[in-house]
Amino acid sequence: MVIFSGLEFIFRFFPAFLAVYYITPKKYREWALLFGSIVFYAVGEPYYVLLLLVAVWLNYFFAKKIYSCRDTRRGRKCRKDRVVAALVMDIGLLAAFKLLGAFLGNAIFPLGLSFFLFKMISFQIDTYRGEMIQKPGFRQTVVYFVMFPQIVSGPIMRFSEGGFWEEEREYSWEKLEEGLQYFAAGLGTKVLLADRLAILWKDIHMIGYESISTPLAWLGAAGYSMELYFDFWGYSLMASGICVMLGYPFIENFRHPYASRSVSEFWRRWHMTLGSFFRDYVYIPLGGSREDMTVTLRNLLAVWLLTGLWHGGSLNFILWGLSLFFLIAIEKLALGKLFGKFPFFGRLFVLLVIPVTWVIFAVTDLRELGMYLGRLFPFDGGGIAVNPRDIIKYLGMYWYYLLAGVIWCIPGVPRFLKKHRKHPAVVLLTAFVFWISVYCVVSMENNPFAYLKF
């Protein structure tokens, strides 16, 4: 039920929740969202829901304490002590579960923990920094932490972005419509593109990395880059679409990243809420890029190591973070100016190196990773039982998904549709995409990777 593209969510939980939500008088709607979210999370994690509730309560408690000493005599010191205590708790909890996950397998990791703890951390720091213009109420705080559209995989909204301080939340049919369109777009992006391209990646894995031709290795890297993007972007669109339908603001998490002109820009446009989290709570507090280059590089290194660790505990994620640090560092030191003058080279650079970084991200086994990289860059020949014609087969099987994917990566296309979203043709297209997606979900439900056919 916790998967937005599942039948249970689309046709059971969400319509029922939406009906209850809008029947509830405006005054109590936050309560409806609060209880609905706890039910949602409890279905996904019947035991860890207790952990969530404890974490929510403790964080609210700490934040209240931090807030309350803002007017006392030794306010600054007092706030600092308390925020440190809160952060030790949150970061400790996250680190503990990351470690447990690394040793005992990911099944032990609570659903959405990385995301809701990051919300809590940002909440504590914002309170400490005095960015709360008024004392956050219990209800709003809890809703902010647990709201179901964001609890599983973000976006990591800031408290100040959620419109919790407004006198009255604005609800309208127009917002409902707008949110539904975002949801349908996200559903299509995930189901029709990401889930199809995922099969290509599985196919390549099945062949064995040592046996793929170099063109197929690049096709796989490109396909995986799109899969990952459409999966997460699609998810984020669905999540933010739901928020809009409930009267909350749209939180942007992706801004057509593959159209970037440098790797640094790519990461300002990819998973934006995570990037800005690290910028605001790690990079800038460390001094950002205000001091000399060595300090800047140190700060970048810290950010990218943490980003790598946040994504996963295994060594390849650290390598992945380091590779991004390395790329961004050389852009800062040298390439950046070139890309500024000749954006074409910057775009090309992004399109060539980002897929390679995603391969490092995707292949958790280092030996396998080495093999894949060896096929991407076959300097020493290599490869066992390579079929040089494999590329023709897989292009033949996947070209339409890849082509559709490339088109969907071009910023103008979604922008055009968004601009004309009230046009009858776009309305029909949205409904069509929605039902085709549902059709795909149904026909794949026993057969997630079309794998029962041998």
Contact residues for 90 (Cβ-Cβ < 8 A; gap 6+): 55, 59, 117, 120, 121, 124
Which of the stretches 47-55, 70-78, 192-200, 424-432 binds other proteins when contact is defined by CB under 8 A? Answer: 424-432
Considering the rule CB under 8 A, would residue 174 count as an interface residue with other proteins? yes
Considering the rule CB under 8 A, would residue 454 count as an interface residue with other proteins? yes
| Tokens (6 digits) for 404 | 């559709």
Going 420 to 435 to 256 to 401, the CA torsion angle's sign is negative
- Residue 251 DSSP symbol: P
Considering the rule CB under 8 A, would residue 192 count as an interface residue with other proteins? no
| Tokens (6 digits) for 238 | 């669905």
420 is known as an active-site residue: no
Q: Which of 337, 395, 431, 448 binds other proteins (CB under 8 A)?
A: 431
In angstroms, the CA 206 to CA 213 distance is 14
The nearest distance, CB 152 to other proteins, in angstroms, is: 18
- One-letter amino acid at 59 equals N
Considering the rule CB under 8 A, would residue 42 count as an interface residue with other proteins? no
Give the active site residue among 205, 256, 311, 420: 311
Q: Angle at which helices 214-245 and 366-376 pack, to 10 degrees?
A: 110
In angstroms, the CA 303 to CA 315 distance is 16
The nearest distance, CB 294 to other proteins, in angstroms, is: 44
Q: Which of 70, 80, 129, 205 binds other proteins (CB under 8 A)?
A: 205
- One-letter amino acid at 52 equals L
CB-nearer residue toward other proteins: 350 or 391: 391
The nearest distance, CB 197 to other proteins, in angstroms, is: 17
CB-nearer residue toward other proteins: 107 or 452: 452
Considering the rule CB under 8 A, would residue 46 count as an interface residue with other proteins? no
| Tokens (6 digits) for 57 | 């309560």
In angstroms, the CA 173 to CA 248 distance is 13
In angstroms, the CA 446 to CA 173 distance is 36
For the range 448-451, what are the long-range contacts, defined as Cβ-Cβ under 8 Å and sequence gap of 24 or more?
449/198, 449/199, 449/202, 450/199, 451/202
Considering the rule CB under 8 A, would residue 31 count as an interface residue with other proteins? no
Considering the rule CB under 8 A, would residue 452 count as an interface residue with other proteins? yes
Which of the stretches 4-12, 141-149, 267-275, 357-365 binds other proteins when contact is defined by CB under 8 A? Answer: 4-12
Q: Answer yes or no: are the C-beta atoms of 351 and 173 closer than 8 Å.
A: no
Considering the rule CB under 8 A, would residue 76 count as an interface residue with other proteins? no
CB-nearer residue toward other proteins: 288 or 378: 378
Which residues are identified as catalytic? 311
Positions that interact with other proteins (CB under 8 A): 1, 7-8, 11-12, 173-174, 176-177, 180-181, 184, 202, 205-208, 210-212, 384-387, 389-390, 393, 422, 424, 427-428, 430-431, 434-435, 438-439, 442-443, 446-447, 451-454
